[in-house]
A = this chain, B = another copy of it.
Amino acid sequence: MRLHVPIGLRWSDLDAYGHVNNAAMFGLLEEARIHAFWAGDESFDGRPDETVPATRIFSGGPDAGTITLIARQQAEYLAPIPYLRDPLDVEMWVGKLGGASMDVCYEVYSPSGVAPRVLFARAQTTLVVIDAGEQKPRRITDAERAVIEQILDAPLVFRER
């Protein structure tokens, strides 16, 4: 199972070439991760979160007990992304689940419902789960693990250079 996360572009994501900037792409992936993995609470959202995806395993907001750090990430750009009003359709899954880390994989597609479907980019982020108090990696719990296993799939294989 893969998640489908809709990620809207902003005009400021474009650079002077008129396409989504290569660095801006990583900001879009960050938004997709927040949407997929971070649960809200009242202080975070202003109201109870009634649409929590099953995968929102980390309790939310900048002051929460868990933070995640990026250990590495990689993107492969297959086609330039023009300005699009409709949100990109970001497919997400976990390609590898470690003790305190996981590899999040993405395929960034044209907006849902538009034909032909275009694959703009593929990417992977290695996330490390950090105990915010101790500022050290902590084990992914069994409960968290059970959730993530639902979106476990084969890791991305990037094209040969």
A110 within 8 A of B: yes
Q: How far in angstroms is the closest Cβ of chain B from A43?
A: 8
Chain A: interface residue total (CB-CB under 8 A): 56
Residue pair A12, B17 in contact (C-beta under 8 Å): no
CA distance A114 to B76 in the complex (A): 35
Within the oligomer, what is the number of copies of this chain?
4
Q: Which residues of chain B are near A29, meaning CB under 8 Å?
A: 23
CA distance A82 to B60 in the complex (A): 12
Partner of A103, one of B40, B45, B83, B161: B161
Nearest B residue to A34, CB-CB? B11
Partner of A8, one of B8, B17, B84: B8
Q: Which residues of chain B are near A10, meaning CB under 8 Å?
A: 10, 27, 30-31
